[in-house]
Amino acid sequence: MICNRFIQFLTLNLILCICTPSLGDIIHVPDDYETIQEATENAENGDTIMVAPGEYPRAAGFVHEPSPIWFIGDPNHETIIDLGGDRHNGFSSQYARIFVENFVIRNNSGGRPGVGLFRTHGEVRNCVFQDLSVAITISEGSALVERCHFENNAWNTHLDLNEDETIFRYNFISECTFGIDIGYGRSALIENNTIVNTPNAIIVRGSEGLCHIRNNMVSGCDVAITLIAGLLDNQIIDEFVARRLAISYNCLWDNEMNFLAILSDTTDVFNPSPGDGMIDENPLFVDPDNDDYHLTADSPCIDAGDPESESDPDSTRADIGAFYFHLYPEIEIEPETIEFSDVQTGVSDSTTLSIRNTGRAPLHIIRQYIEPIESPFTIGNGGGDFNLDPDSTHLTWIVFSPEIQDEYEAAYCIESNDPDENSLEIPLYGTALRVKQEGGGLPIELKIVDIFPNPFNNSVIVQFTLSSNNDITMKVIDLNGRVVKMLLTHEKFSLGHHSIIWNASDIPSGIYLVNIESASKTDTRKILLIH
């Protein structure tokens, strides 16, 4: 039975996986032709055969022409090829290039393949193979096999004498006798597959070509990787392994053996040179007892794949296995409210908003704006769109420049790709006075007015004043005179009162100096950071 988990997995990735047929005709089965074989015999080069939901006793027994040809079933996997337990092929091709997608192929015997590719190239995507003697055979050809489900097959993928690199990726294999069997061929890329409860997970034969095995999850198997090399002996096996296998960034967990070599006169354990990123700890599946092999949020296999591999759909580093864990950005903004009090008309006051990504995927800020736009509030430095990596902070300046004495309200609005909070509003309040306050109102020098709280834990507010428009630099210095953080670098500010929030979560506890300087003046205050 096809588990709901895998149906959801295939549906999620369907748009990513469907290859684009060429500009041939579209033939419908059974509307145009009753059988897939009859449709194939009447097709021409580049045609697509769309097979409606239903159960069919045969597919295309053997395709010599046309080439290429696409066979596409129902995306919900309701197009079923049931071979009735007999010695029948599903889709087989000699010389003709075929593309097979979205079929359930099941129930045959006698060593016949569900999909057979002989002296040609083919692609198999989003198919389910069940109870077959051989799921896929590739002989003297090459293939791309991706996002398929293999269950209870004697032999899943058998590759023999391939001329070009064959790629197996994002496939799930369970309860089979043999998983991926690479014959005496040239090369193969085996990546991001999950293979469980299968006696022989990955078999590599012969001495030619490089098999790159990366980002795979192999768990609960008798042997994870078997090397068969009949003409070799133990003296040269290390050299052979280095030439034939590149093994890295895999999770091999709870197998009877991880590596086995079968030579001409002996069977022994081989230990390849440790590749980068190998994991031998519990991958923390969601519910393996009920066939749910997705990763939980604490899995060591998340973001643990080869960094040179293609990124996951959430734009993060590749996970290990067929089922990636979707990571999300999380936006956090402080303060939650901004208030400007008793600002003299004709003078600007400003402060910063701290935008932090506390999630595990990149945060994309799509838009920042003030509503209503007629208010005296504006966005200064740090506005616009930008990307923010996990555990990173961005500062946006909010400026209040009243011209008329009054009380004002507005909202700072921000839109992002955070799925839970894709649109946020921060209330803005401001009071403008027409007369100068006691003491003159306007600042008469460059000065750090206050730092609070002090001592502080993670975040601190630095308030400063300017007597004229100026370029300002602000930095944090330790007691040895080393700069540990640049808060501002030659940024333009108008005369008036300003403040900035500094998040010091990545700085060790200690005593520091906050220094502010313009072209002609400087001021310094001491602060104490306690984590």
In this structure, is residue 385 part of a structural domain?
yes
Q: Which two tokens stand for residue 406?
A: 């009054």
- What's this model's pTM, rounded to 2 decimal places? 0.71
Which residue segment(s) compose the domain that 518 sits in?
447-529
Residues contacting 504, CB < 8 A, separation 6+ = 456, 458, 459, 460, 476, 485, 529
Query: Is 399 in the same domain as 468?
Result: no
Query: Is 452 in the same domain as 428?
Result: no
Does the N-terminal peptide bond of residue 372 adopt cis geometry, omega within 30 degrees of 0? yes
* CATH code: domain of residue 21: 2.160.20.10
* CATH code: domain of residue 372: 2.60.40.10
Query: Is 110 in the same domain as 72?
Result: yes
Q: What is the pLDDT of residue 14?
A: 40
The strand order across the sheet containing 217-219 reads: 54-56, 79-82, 104-106, 128-130, 149-151, 172-174, 194-196, 217-219, 251-253
In this structure, is residue 502 part of a structural domain?
yes
Query: Is 17 in the same domain as 134?
Result: yes
With a cut of 50, list the residues of the chain below it in pLDDT. 1-20, 437-440
**Rg, Å, the chain Cα set:** 32
Q: Of 433, 465, 500, which marks where a domain is finished?
A: 433
Q: What is the pLDDT of residue 286?
A: 95
Q: Of 411, 433, 455, which marks where a domain is finished?
A: 433
Query: Is 48 in the same domain as 142?
Result: yes
Quote the number of domains for the chain.
3
Contact (CB, 8 A) for 361 and 314? yes
Residues contacting 137, CB < 8 A, separation 6+ = 113, 115, 116, 117, 118, 157, 158, 160
Q: Of 409, 433, 457, which marks where a domain is finished?
A: 433
In this structure, is residue 501 part of a structural domain?
yes
